[in-house]
Amino acid sequence: MVKKISLLMLLLGMGLSLMAATPKRFTLVIDAGHGGHDTGARGAFSEEKDINLSVALRFGQLVERSCPDVNVIYTRKDDRFVTLHERAAIANRNKADLFISVHTNAVARGHTVQGFQVYTLGMHRAKDNLDVAMRENSVISMEKDYKQTYQGFDPKSSESYIMFEFIQSANMERSVDLARLIQRAVCSDVGRVDKGVHQAGFLVLRETSMPSCLIELGFITTPEEEDFLNTEDGQDNLAAAFLKAFVKYRKKYEPHWTVPTQGSSPISIAPAAAMKSAAAVQPKKVKRVAIPTAPAASKSKEQEKVERPTKAAGTTPAPQLPEAAQEAIKGVVPVFKVQVFAVNRQLRHDSEQFKGHEDVDCFVEDGRYKYTIGANTNYNKIVKLKKKLSEDFPNCFIVAFNGDKRMNTSLAIAAFLQNAKRK
């Protein structure tokens, strides 16, 4: 035990010395979790390692394009196995200013959980946090001589996590700050379920000597989240939110730093869907259906279970939209609604699922009955309505329509702002 504590104190000292030697150029290390023979968690049709890598690369590319003064280093850029020890060593060798590790969460089969989380190194001994940390740390058993490399650390022993209290105290405040910025950006801009910022004993964070955090993108074992995490729009939107948080972090801790830009154009950190060509953001026609007053055919409670919405909520777009996007919203007066849930069957008007709310509407999209409450061309009023509805429907989000066609919410907001300026 004395040997372990001495080693950890040495690591802490190394961390402090590295912080003192500030590099001339800001260095960000992005770590795509798992890889190679270590697949990480598995979903119905995808593997964690692939999702982690894709999101990590997209985030890094955004930083490289938007902040050319940042030296972006990846622990892996392809499907290869990298030990947890080496991931941290890459950051330490390069005297990184920030370390961000990207992962995807999972739960046992038969359980359904949704939500985005960010972890920092700490010792909250809540069972859920320990379970997550132990699952991610268990990969060290795939490494040769892991017991010697990690000084007797047992990823399945809660006692081993006591030693985490001795390290990174100097970086804790910034790490938590970064985690909160990421959590806030993703949940507000991308509309993910907010499962909060936590502390846990992730081994990959233990050995880094700079502010760091570990991101859990969502639950690959939940069908809706697995679908979202495997879409280009979903991955692009997450990466854009990470960039937004990263920029805010640097502005806070480097007051004199200004966001570098390519030319005179401002950096766009709006959801990527709003930045696509007009052809790619064409509205999707949906079928509006009336809500029957007569009882529908009875089905089992399991069949009647509500599918919680996970689609990204709309956010205010960047100050400037590409010409294609501007053309797509010309003359459009969108109608905003709050989608509260989706089910596989049509519900009657007095269904308990509506929790007593009226002004309920329904449309069919992708074979699902999607229910909305409220309708207004004023986006601000719908935002207020969404806030009220969140008490009964925590996972509700804003959708937009152009006539009978569903449209991208970010573009709809841009159209609303454009129309408001003309008045």
What is the strand order of the sheet 26-32 is part of?
A: 70-74, 26-32, 98-105, 212-219, 116-121, 194-200
User: How far from the centroid of its chain's Cα atoms is residue 331's Cα?
Assistant: 33
Q: Nearest to residue 377, comparing CAs of 336, 415, 407, 406?
A: 336
Q: Nearest to residue 204, comparing CAs of 408, 364, 33, 403?
A: 33
Position 22 scores a pLDDT of 42
The contacts of residue 422 (CB under 8 Å, 6+ apart) are none
Note the pLDDT tens digit of each residue in 177-223: 999 999 999 999 999 999 999 887 777 777 787 899 999 999 999 99
Region class of 371: left (phi > 0), else alpha (psi between -120 and 50), else beta: beta
Note the pLDDT tens digit of each residue in 347-393: 888 888 899 998 899 988 877 788 999 999 998 899 899 889 988 88
d(CA 340, CA 234): 20
Is 60 exceeded by the pLDDT of residue 300?
no
- On whether the CB atoms of residues 34 and 135 are closer than 8 A, the answer is no
d(CA 62, CA 57): 9
d(CA 308, CA 77): 34
- On whether the CB atoms of residues 175 and 96 are closer than 8 A, the answer is no
User: How far from the centroid of its chain's Cα atoms is residue 422's Cα?
Assistant: 35
The dihedral formed by the CA atoms of 235, 173, 257 and 98, expressed in degrees to the nearest 10: -50
Note the pLDDT tens digit of each residue in 160-171: 544 444 444 557
The dihedral formed by the CA atoms of 139, 142, 147 and 148, expressed in degrees to the nearest 10: -120
**How is the chain split into domains, by residue range?**
2-253, 274-422
Position 81 scores a pLDDT of 95
Note the pLDDT tens digit of each residue in 321-336: 556 667 777 888 999 9
Note the pLDDT tens digit of each residue in 308-321: 444 333 333 333 55
Fold of 2-253: Aminopeptidase (3.40.630)
